[in-house]
């Protein structure tokens, strides 16, 4: 009930709930009065209402059984008691102070306590050791599939705009601390649009230069012209050599790994319109232990490749 911006709706709902119960009690007594006034006829004969259907089908007017009446009244009393104990009358919290949010939090706490021993084992372990642990990998993978796969793919290989986490190439860095930060705090990669500063010819030239950086087929004349524009506009973030800057999440443009694609059209689109890419923060979704296991899982995805190097 605390979701409403004015008190009005609290009173409105409370009034409807109470009026409903009063109405039920009134209904019972109004009918009793009616029944009394049309008592059973003497000689045990039951009075009838005077309604007749199909020629001889009479509607009788039997008095309500006592047990039924008491059940009815008891249910009204129960309803009142319930409204005293639990929230139901608009903003009134109820004596027990129960709330569905509180109940959920209690359940979650209980669940956390139950799984705590499972995570406790990894408390003092370094990330590489956790990544080596089969049980930790299993938990990490389940967390990943449930919370990360919708963006990064179930094999963590990503898709257009969603980085591949299994290729050993990182926007922000490969160390466990940085991966942990990406997961806990989220990331926001912003590439400003250059559609205003650069005319379409200049965009085409820079595009060719960017393609040449990773050895893709490029028009040498345009690429040579684009080089100056790149140094003036792009080097601040992507570096003079185009090797990127992990502090900004600016991708390395020389490594043949593409977040959006390597075609001239896609690169020109990035330059003209810019990019605004966000990874949501997860520190409120997970416990710190869960983030540790996820970090180890993601870090472990590419470690074999690193060791092989």
Distance CA 224, CA 208 (A): 9
| 240 belongs to the binding site for ligand HEC (CB under 6 A) | no
Q: Among residues 89 and 259, whose Cβ is nearest to ligand HEC?
A: 259
User: 282 a known binding residue?
Assistant: no
Residue among 90, 122, 130, 163 that touches ligand HEC (CB under 6 A): 163
Q: Among residues 91 and 157, whose Cβ is nearest to ligand HEC?
A: 157
| 296 belongs to the binding site for ligand HEC (CB under 6 A) | no
Site for ligand HEC in 76-135 (CB under 6 A): none
The radius of gyration of the chain's CA atoms, rounded to the nearest angstrom, is 36
Q: Among residues 94 and 168, whose Cβ is nearest to ligand HEC?
A: 168
CB of 139 to ligand HEC, least distance (A): 13
Residue pair 218/209 in contact by the 8 Å Cβ criterion: yes
Distance CA 131, CA 54 (A): 83
| 191 belongs to the binding site for ligand HEC (CB under 6 A) | yes
Q: Among residues 127 and 148, whose Cβ is nearest to ligand HEC?
A: 148
| 227 belongs to the binding site for ligand HEC (CB under 6 A) | no
Residue among 179, 213, 293, 296 that touches ligand HEC (CB under 6 A): 179
Q: Among residues 88 and 192, whose Cβ is nearest to ligand HEC?
A: 192
Binding residues for heme c: 148, 151-152, 191, 234, 237-238, 279
Binding residues: 148, 151-152, 191, 234, 237-238, 279
């Amino acid at each position: 009930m605390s979701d409403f911006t004015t008190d009005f709706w609290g009173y409105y709902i409370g009034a409807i709930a109470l009026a409903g119960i009063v109405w039920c009690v009134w209904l019972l007594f109004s009918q009793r009065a009616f029944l009394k006034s049309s008592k059973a006829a003497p000689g045990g004969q039951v009075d009838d209402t005077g309604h007749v259907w199909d020629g001889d089908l009479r509607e009788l007017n039997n008095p309500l059984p006592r047990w039924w009446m008491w059940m009815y009244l008891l249910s009204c009393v129960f309803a009142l008691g319930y409204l005293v104990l639990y929230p139901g009358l608009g903003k009134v919290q109820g004596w027990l102070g129960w709330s569905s949010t509180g109940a959920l939090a209690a359940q979650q706490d209980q669940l956390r306590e139950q799984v705590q021993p499972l995570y406790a084992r990894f408390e003092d372990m370094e990330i590489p050791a956790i990544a080596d642990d089969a049980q930790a990998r299993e938990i990490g993978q389940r967390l990943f599939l449930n919370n990360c796969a919708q963006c990064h793919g179930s094999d963590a290989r990503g898709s257009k705009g969603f980085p591949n986490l299994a290729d050993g190439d990182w926007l922000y860095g490969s160390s466990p601390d940085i991966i942990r930060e990406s997961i806990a705090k989220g990331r926001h990669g912003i590439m400003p649009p250059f559609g205003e500063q650069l005319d379409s010819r200049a965009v085409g030239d820079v595009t060719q230069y960017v393609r040449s950086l990773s050895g893709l087929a490029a028009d040498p004349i345009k690429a040579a012209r684009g080089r100056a524009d790149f140094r003036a506009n792009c080097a601040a973030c992507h570096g003079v050599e185009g090797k990127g800057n992990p502090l900004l999440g600016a991708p390395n443009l020389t490594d043949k790994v593409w977040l959006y694609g390597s075609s001239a059209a896609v690169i020109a689109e990035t330059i003209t319109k810019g990019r605004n890419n966000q990874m949501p923060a997860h520190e409120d979704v997970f416990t710190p232990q869960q983030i540790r296991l996820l970090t180890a899982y993601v870090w472990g995805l590419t470690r074999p490749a690193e060791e092989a190097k």
